[in-house]
Chains A and B, each alone.
Chain A
């Protein structure tokens, strides 16, 4: 933005910053699915979020992916306050700053791999004539350039998920948000995909992976557990807890 270059390392905002953000399903009775939470995820981090069903994983994912709004607290992505922002702004951030990878792939069945990747470029308003080349480049990045014109039904589960990752990456988002990315994959494909995620991390991507699979979580450099709507960082850092002064809110910070 307008900061002086010398300040950049300090002022570059975290990719994700939750400040007392929580989510309560309106009742009756109201259910506090996510207790007020502080969480900072910085650029280049590889974070795994683990927790049993009903722990609030999906709620957290929906908040981070801007698919739901926090009922309290503050949510910022790349320094943009988005908890109460208009749907116009939230959609724009989803298009350009966040890449989604889903458990069930969510590829359009009647479109080829490259066409599925190009769908992400529509709403991000990439110039039409550049889309194909960019999509092919993204497919190349996940090692699927040779299957670019195959329909999802002609692809294996692992290949489909790699197409989905190419789609998530094609707009160069600041955050790759993966929801159980290996949930529908066999062991071999899971390993392949975890390797791919590791590679992406090495290339500088910011990854948040929600997973049940300990093997997938083990590849992350930071592991967050979620239980009953409460987050706990497994790489405990006392300095972070020193900042937790505002009452009941549960503080987590990365770094």
Chain B
């Protein structure tokens, strides 16, 4: 079929192969993708709006929920988190009869619960007379001071600090002694500044020995304003607490034990009828954080997700339009030696760059929005730095995914068809 020369040539020709494939360097890819985007800056900018909204929304929501959760954490101090209050429901006595549903050994019963540091019953006493520093019979000045009945445990649980003297104790309680602890302002009103001489006061004409003067009482600040007497003394002299000011128990727990103690207190106190008492612990800070974050997240994250999806569709759409518009450019690039994968990777790079840009701007917008809200609410802004750095990466991934189909379409364009246009 062939001449000898031809077949000789053919033999030589067979040894010829392509040595180096055509290339598309990373630097070229970057500059070509950038040039592609900057060809139509307006369209590129509009395209990333959806991504900006989506990523910005995500960042703002995460930042705000973190800030809000942190805010709750700040409001919860240790004092609140270690306090349980048990209240007499007054169910037994109805609305008129004074009742006392705490047993006399309430302090000891609750002390046995694991995690309890101190506990005691107290109530605002009523039916006592006015308070004076001198006996009413010799014309002592009557002062309208509140009188509180409290067990020794209640004073300890309230964290009472003394300016002078001591707190009344189990002995005074057990024997219903007429002793009193004065609040700081009450002592000033009564003109008592020292307990060295065992000063006496008169409550409704009954003499009481002042054993201590309070400096401060963090959990029961009302004690600073009045006179505190032992629980048993008050019961003996003035009867049980009235229904509009029922007896309460203050329990000071270890950090983190408040929830557990609250669940056990009523049963420990009244195993015969726990329903007479209700125990309340502060809402668990961690739970509250979670619930706030969750309620914020579910609604707004869904919205941000929708925005993000719109953003992804926008990028996909723009890239697809660009592929169709630039089909003659694609044909030209193929004629100049581009392989289908070079075309695909170029459009992928363009869509990824759009997503990355959207993510960058979105992260900035999100942080600014969160800051704006935080400042207007006088909160302390809290934001996980990882979120800020993850946002552009997430944008880039979205852009990459959005570009997959257009890039596939672009790489499948036949150069001969594309160049004919």
> In the bound complex, do residue B13 and residue A88 qualify as a contact, i.e. CB atoms below 8 Å apart?
no
> In the bound complex, do residue B20 and residue A125 qualify as a contact, i.e. CB atoms below 8 Å apart?
yes
**Which stretch in B2-10, B194-202, B272-280 binds the other chain?**
B2-10
A46 to B406, CA, bound (A): 41
**Which stretch in B23-31, B55-63, B247-255, B380-388 binds the other chain?**
B23-31
Q: Which residues of B contact A92 (CB under 8 A)?
A: 18, 20-22, 337
Tally chain A residues at the interface, Cβ within 8 Å: 44
The A70-100 residues at the B interface (CB cut-off 8 A) are 76, 78-81, 85, 87-89, 91-96, 100
A119 to B24, CA, bound (A): 11
> In the bound complex, do residue B335 and residue A100 qualify as a contact, i.e. CB atoms below 8 Å apart?
yes
Tally chain B residues at the interface, Cβ within 8 Å: 42
Min C-beta distance of A216 to chain B, whole Å: 20
Q: Which residues of A contact B416 (CB under 8 A)?
A: 58, 62, 67-68
> In the bound complex, do residue B35 and residue A94 qualify as a contact, i.e. CB atoms below 8 Å apart?
no
A85 to B22, CA, bound (A): 14
**CB of A106 within 8 A of chain B?**
yes
> In the bound complex, do residue B419 and residue A67 qualify as a contact, i.e. CB atoms below 8 Å apart?
yes
- Contacts A67-B415, A122-B28; A93 near B18 (Cβ below 8 A): yes
Q: Which residues of B contact A88 (CB under 8 A)?
A: 18, 21-22, 339
- Contacts A92-B21, A124-B337; A1 near B15 (Cβ below 8 A): yes
**CB of B328 within 8 A of chain A?**
yes
A1 to B18, CA, bound (A): 12
- Contacts A13-B13, A85-B18, A110-B35; A122 near B334 (Cβ below 8 A): no
Chain A 179-198 interface 0/1 with B at a Cβ cutoff of 8 Å (1 = within): 00000000000000000000
Q: A-B pairs with CB below 8 Å: how many?
A: 120
**CB of B332 within 8 A of chain A?**
yes
Q: Which of A62, A65, A91, A96 contacts B338 (CB 8 A)?
A: A91
Closest B residue, CB atoms, query A122: B28
Q: Which of B8, B35, B328 contacts A111 (CB 8 A)?
A: B35
A92 to B24, CA, bound (A): 11
The A150-200 residues at the B interface (CB cut-off 8 A) are 167
> In the bound complex, do residue A89 and residue B35 qualify as a contact, i.e. CB atoms below 8 Å apart?
no
Q: Which residues of B contact A94 (CB under 8 A)?
A: 22, 334-337
Interface residues of B (CB under 8 A from A): 1, 3, 5, 8-9, 12-18, 20-25, 27-28, 32, 35, 39, 328-329, 331-340, 342, 414-416, 419-421
Interface residues of A (CB under 8 A from B): 1-3, 10-11, 13, 58, 62, 65, 67-68, 76, 78-81, 85, 87-89, 91-96, 100, 102, 104, 106, 108, 110-111, 119-120, 122-125, 128, 167, 243, 245-246
Q: List 29 A-B contacts (CB under 8 A).
A: A11-B9, A11-B12, A13-B12, A58-B416, A58-B420, A62-B416, A67-B335, A67-B415, A67-B419, A68-B416, A76-B13, A80-B13, A81-B13, A88-B18, A89-B18, A91-B22, A91-B337, A91-B338, A91-B342, A94-B22, A94-B334, A94-B337, A95-B336, A106-B419, A108-B332, A122-B336, A123-B24, A123-B342, A125-B25
Please give me the 9 A-B residue pairs with the lowest Cβ-Cβ distance, nearest first.
A95-B337, A123-B337, A125-B23, A79-B13, A95-B22, A89-B18, A67-B416, A79-B16, A123-B22
